[in-house]
Amino acid sequence: MQKRLLSTRLFTVEHREYPRAGGEPVRRDVIVHPGAVVILPILDERRIVMIRNYRYTVEQELWELPAGTLEPNEAPIDTALRELEEEAGYRAGQMTKMVEFYTSPGILTERMHAFVATNLTPVGQNLQGTERISVKVLDTDEVRRMLVDGELCDGKTIAVLGTYFARGGA
């Protein structure tokens, strides 16, 4: 059983009941999300493009990788190409799937599709009206230090950079 509690442009909140063998059903309030992408833009073996993004929900500017929500009927790779240009101001010559993961599976259905973008060409940002994003090109050693020292607070960025470095990137 599911009952819609709230609908917004980006997500819905549903009260759901899941059957459980030999017991009462499990009841959960679930945020239903269409999914999102995160992009690791690599300029060359020593430089990564990152953004400083002001997040109103936490009232602070965070170091992040470019990312965005899937539009209806939009393939994740198309979202990744669009968001990279909008937020970071780069067009990717190559976009390669890296990994998929759930951002917070205890309460949220959002599945994050991570891509590595290479062969980058600067095209200029195309920000939405409320976005406050600056672009920074960082040396991979500096990004690794930021990751290890806990300077990064954005979960998707930590997950993707951790995966990249664990796989032997830079």
pLDDT given for residue 22 in this prediction: 87
Confidence of residue 153 (pLDDT cuts 50, 70, 90): very high
pTM, to two decimals: 0.93
User: Which of the residues 74, 131, 142, 151 is marked catalytic?
Assistant: 131
d(CA 37, CA 63): 16
**Best CA proximity match to 89, nearest among 54, 45, 41, 129:** 41
* Whole-number pLDDT of residue 128: 85
Instruction: Tell me the per-residue pLDDT of 1-60, one tens digit each, with 9 for 90 and over.
Output: 789 999 998 899 999 999 998 889 999 999 999 999 999 999 998 999 999 999 999 999
pLDDT of residue 86: 96
**pLDDT for the residue numbered 1:** 79
**pLDDT score at 12:** 93
Q: What is the pLDDT of residues 68-104, one digit of tens each?
A: 999 999 999 999 999 999 999 999 999 999 999 999 9
Q: Name the residue ranges covered by the structural domains of the chain.
A: 1-32, 34-166
pLDDT surpasses 80 at 170? no
| Distance, C-alpha 84 to centroid of its chain | 11
Q: In whole angstroms, give the CA distance from residue 141 to residue 44.
A: 13
The verdict on whether 100 is a catalytic residue reads no
User: Is 34-166 CATH 1.10.167.10?
Assistant: no
d(CA 102, CA 150) in angstroms, rounded, equals 21
